[in-house]
């Protein structure tokens, strides 16, 4: 082994990075605990899977897999442009929307700049910021007794904008809290941000939200050219495994993102699947209906058992298991769920140590989770 301390060679931002902690894969739980018949409710995937049309499109696309993908993603951009009413040159494709968040950081953030975002928001915002050596301005979230517990405090975020602020990340709805921002409030915030600061509204869970007053911020781009809206095929479209997401922005911003994008960042099967999925509204409607029923099932259980939770509009919910049980904290409850073959997501890394974030599953999966919680927590 070399005597080099390679960490000394790394860029300053990278030295302090803690890698993203993904949900535990099913195969890992099988290996580590020797359990089978596992359900994974940890990464906010769609329990119904992808559209059958998307599966079919991937099988067809596989026939040409020796060829590079279309580096411009023409068919997919066209499908997105037509579906949502934009021009092709406003769309940037990403290897998941995570890729787009990183492209934004690389284009706009330098070590002299800061990104601004709320406490308890998506873990990739700090990662993307630190990786380019920029600093972070993390704004205190709303209190736990607010209508949107631990959600974004837009007034505080506005007040926290400084001369160094270059990019603001807003997740709507937010992960992991599942809280959301109303149209009038979010537009007032965007309007108040100086035009030389980029505002990213991350709409990864857009399709799932059923609340009246939830905004489609892509419609605001025409009014606020400093706005970028990101979306993904990983959640309601059920295509997390192939990695495809996109942003809608002013064409000049799309051009800049495109300059640092890997030429073939979205693979052939992902592009084909996404095009087919966009044409399958029925699958999205079924996925949304299943999610709404599942959210209701979980919230009703918590209400009946006196277990706290953060009301969510996404396809996941944070359950406050830690404070309900004198003997067991969230980490122990998580451990027991794992032994029962149920993978959920501890959120201690988000500094929410009393909560477990649970992805809404099928009725049968939710039944199994809730039964296990009932037993483990002695409810």
Binding footprint of ligand PLP on the chain (CB under 6 A): 44, 96-98, 122, 171, 175, 202, 204, 232, 234, 240, 245
Helix residue spans in the chain (DSSP H) = 6-9, 12-15, 26-33, 52-61, 74-84, 97-108, 124-131, 154-160, 183-192, 251-260, 268-278, 281-305, 330-339, 363-376
CB closer to ligand PLP, 208 vs 301: 208
Output the six-digit token pair for 355.
Answer: 């909560």
Torsion of CA 142, 228, 295, 285, to 10 degrees: 160
List the Cα angle 216/220/226 in 5-degree steps. 125
Task: Enumerate residues 6+ apart whose C-beta is below 8 A from 196.
Answer: 226
Helix 97-108 to helix 251-260 angle (10° resolution) is: 90
* Integer CA distances (angstroms), 35 to 19, 63, 131, 237, in order: 27, 37, 37, 29
CB closer to ligand PLP, 155 vs 240: 240
CB closer to ligand PLP, 98 vs 291: 98
CB of 276 to ligand PLP, least distance (A): 18
CB of 7 to ligand PLP, least distance (A): 27
Q: Which residue number places its CB atom closest to ligand PLP?
A: 96
Query: What is d(CA 169, CA 183) in angstroms, rounded to the nearest whole number?
Result: 16
Local structure of 112: helix, strand or coil = coil
CB closer to ligand PLP, 254 vs 307: 254
CB closer to ligand PLP, 118 vs 324: 118
Q: Give the chain's radius of gyration (CA, Å).
A: 21
* Integer CA distances (angstroms), 134 to 7, 105, 291, 295, in order: 18, 9, 37, 37
Contact, 247 vs 228, CB < 8 A?
A: yes
CB closer to ligand PLP, 290 vs 359: 359
CB of 107 to ligand PLP, least distance (A): 17
CB of 340 to ligand PLP, least distance (A): 24
CB closer to ligand PLP, 313 vs 372: 313
CB of 163 to ligand PLP, least distance (A): 27
CB of 85 to ligand PLP, least distance (A): 22
CB closer to ligand PLP, 26 vs 328: 26
Output the six-digit token pair for 228.
Answer: 């970028």
CB of 233 to ligand PLP, least distance (A): 7
Query: What is d(CA 217, CA 239) in angstroms, rounded to the nearest whole number?
Result: 23
CB of 36 to ligand PLP, least distance (A): 26
Contact, 234 vs 208, CB < 8 A?
A: no
């Amino acid at each position: 082994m070399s005597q080099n301390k390679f960490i000394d060679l790394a860029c300053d931002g990278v030295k302090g990075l803690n890698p993203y902690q993904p949900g535990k894969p099913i195969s890992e739980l099988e290996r580590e605990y020797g359990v089978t018949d596992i359900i994974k409710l940890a990464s906010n995937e769609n329990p119904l899977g992808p559209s059958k049309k998307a599966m079919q499109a991937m099988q067809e696309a596989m026939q040409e897999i020796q060829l590079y993908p279309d580096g411009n993603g023409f068919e997919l951009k066209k499908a997105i442009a037509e579906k949502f009413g934009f021009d092709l040159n406003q769309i940037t494709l990403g290897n998941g929307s995570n890729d787009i968040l990183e492209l934004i950081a690389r284009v706009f953030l330098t070590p002299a700049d800061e990104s601004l975002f709320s406490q308890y928001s998506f873990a990739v915002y700090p990662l993307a910021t630190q990786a380019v050596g920029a600093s972070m301005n993390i704004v205190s979230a709303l209190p736990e007794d607010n209508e949107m517990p631990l959600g974004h405090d837009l007034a505080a975020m506005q007040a926290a904008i400084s001369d160094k602020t270059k990019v603001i990340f807003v997740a709507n709805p937010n992960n992991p809290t599942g809280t959301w921002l109303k149209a009038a409030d979010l537009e007032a915030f965007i309007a108040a941000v100086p035009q030389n600061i980029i505002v990213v509204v991350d709409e990864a869970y857009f399709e799932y939200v059923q609340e009246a007053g939830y905004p489609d911020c892509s419609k605001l781009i025409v009014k606020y050219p400093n706005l970028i809206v990101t979306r993904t095929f990983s959640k309601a479209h059920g295509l997390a495994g192939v990695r495809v997401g996109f942003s809608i922005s002013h064409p000049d911003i799309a051009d800049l993102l495109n300059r640092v994008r890997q030429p073939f960042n979205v693979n052939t099967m992902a592009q084909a699947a996404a095009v087919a999925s966009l044409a399958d509204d029925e699958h999205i409607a079924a996925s949304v209906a299943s999610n709404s029923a599942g959210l209701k099932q979980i919230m009703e259980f918590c209400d009946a058992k006196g277990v706290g939770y953060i009301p969510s509009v996404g396809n996941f919910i944070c359950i406050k298991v830690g404070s309900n049980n004198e003997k067991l904290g969230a980490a122990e409850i998580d451990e027991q769920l794992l032994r029962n073959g149920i993978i959920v997501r501890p959120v201690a890394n988000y500094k929410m140590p009393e909560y477990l974030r649970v992805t809404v599953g099928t009725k049968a999966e939710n039944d199994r989770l809730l039964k296990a919680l009932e037993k483990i927590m002695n409810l």
